[in-house]
Amino acid sequence: MPRVVVLDYGSGNLRSAQRALERAGAQVQVSADTGDALECDGLVVPGVGAFAACMAGLRVVGGDKLIARRLELGRPVLGICVGMQVLFSAGVEHGAWTEGCGAWPGTVDRLDAIVLPHMGWNTVSAAPGSALFAGIPPGTRFYFVHSYALRAAGSDYLAGAGALVSWTEHGERFAAAVEQGALAATQFHPEKSGDAGAVLLANWLGTL
């Protein structure tokens, strides 16, 4: 049974992520302890709310440095929702620019859509060779709650750098998930996505 830490840095949704990972077959601890988070088989970085607030909370517990260190060591990290967004170079909210973790290049920005937040179920066009979406049929829906994302415009560098990008659309095309080496992330909430989310989490655990 893989050991997983859900990083506690003041963001919400920790217990639902914990329960979903446990149902998917992991031994899960919610913790801000650097030693636990560094040594576990898999680290999950959740996120709810604003990019700037999540980055501030991450820095308080040294989460940005922890993520970087795990990736240096090739130890898996999974970001969820704003936990995905903070993995990029920066986020722009209400005209304010905030530096992110920089694990991937790119700036998270407000979606160009008539209705925001984007709240509800969307299909995802999975990247060929995706480990996260293995065995999940095309047309399967996942649950999203957000107004910001990595927009498709100007994001070609990710694929050029060898990352697998899975896409969806709300007003415009944006990254629903990204995978590269030990790092993976979803803009949607697998822990709120029913059976499909459970399969995706089990797929991730299978990579640990």
pLDDT for res 12? 72
Beta carbons of 184 and 71 less than 8 angstroms apart: no
Beta carbons of 193 and 143 less than 8 angstroms apart: yes
At residue 107, does pLDDT exceed 70?
A: yes
Question: Which residue type occupies 149?
Answer: A
pLDDT for res 114? 96
pLDDT for res 21? 97
Provide mean pLDDT across the span 67-93. 96
The CATH number covering residue 188 comes to 3.40.50.880
The C-alpha torsion from 25 through 31 and 32 to 35, rounded to 10°, is -70
Residue 97 pairs with which residues in a beta bridge?
92
- The total of other beta-carbon atoms located within 10 Å of residue 15's CB is 12
Nearest to 124 by CA among 198, 201, 177, 182: 177
pLDDT in tens, 129-187: 999 999 999 999 999 999 999 998 767 777 777 899 999 999 999 999 999 999 999 99
pLDDT for res 102? 94
From residue 163, give the alpha-carbon distance in Å to each of 31, 99, 140, 159, 185: 29, 21, 22, 5, 11
**Measured distance CA(130)–CA(146) in Å, rounded:** 23
Residue range(s) defining the domain that contains residue 52? 3-205
> Which residue bears the tokens 């996942």?
142
pLDDT for res 154? 62
Nearest to 17 by CA among 73, 80, 101: 80
> Which residue bears the tokens 């100007």?
154
pTM for the structure as a whole: 0.96
Beta carbons of 24 and 205 less than 8 angstroms apart: yes
Handedness of CA 36, 40, 46, 52 (dihedral sign): positive
pLDDT for res 156? 73
Count of domains forming the chain? 1
pLDDT in tens, 19-68: 999 999 999 999 999 999 999 999 999 998 899 999 999 999 999 999 99
From residue 97, give the alpha-carbon distance in Å to each of 23, 26, 110: 38, 36, 12
Structure tokens at 14: 């920790």
**Measured distance CA(199)–CA(24) in Å, rounded:** 7
Beta carbons of 51 and 88 less than 8 angstroms apart: no
Q: Which residues are catalytic?
A: 81, 189, 191
pLDDT for res 32? 94
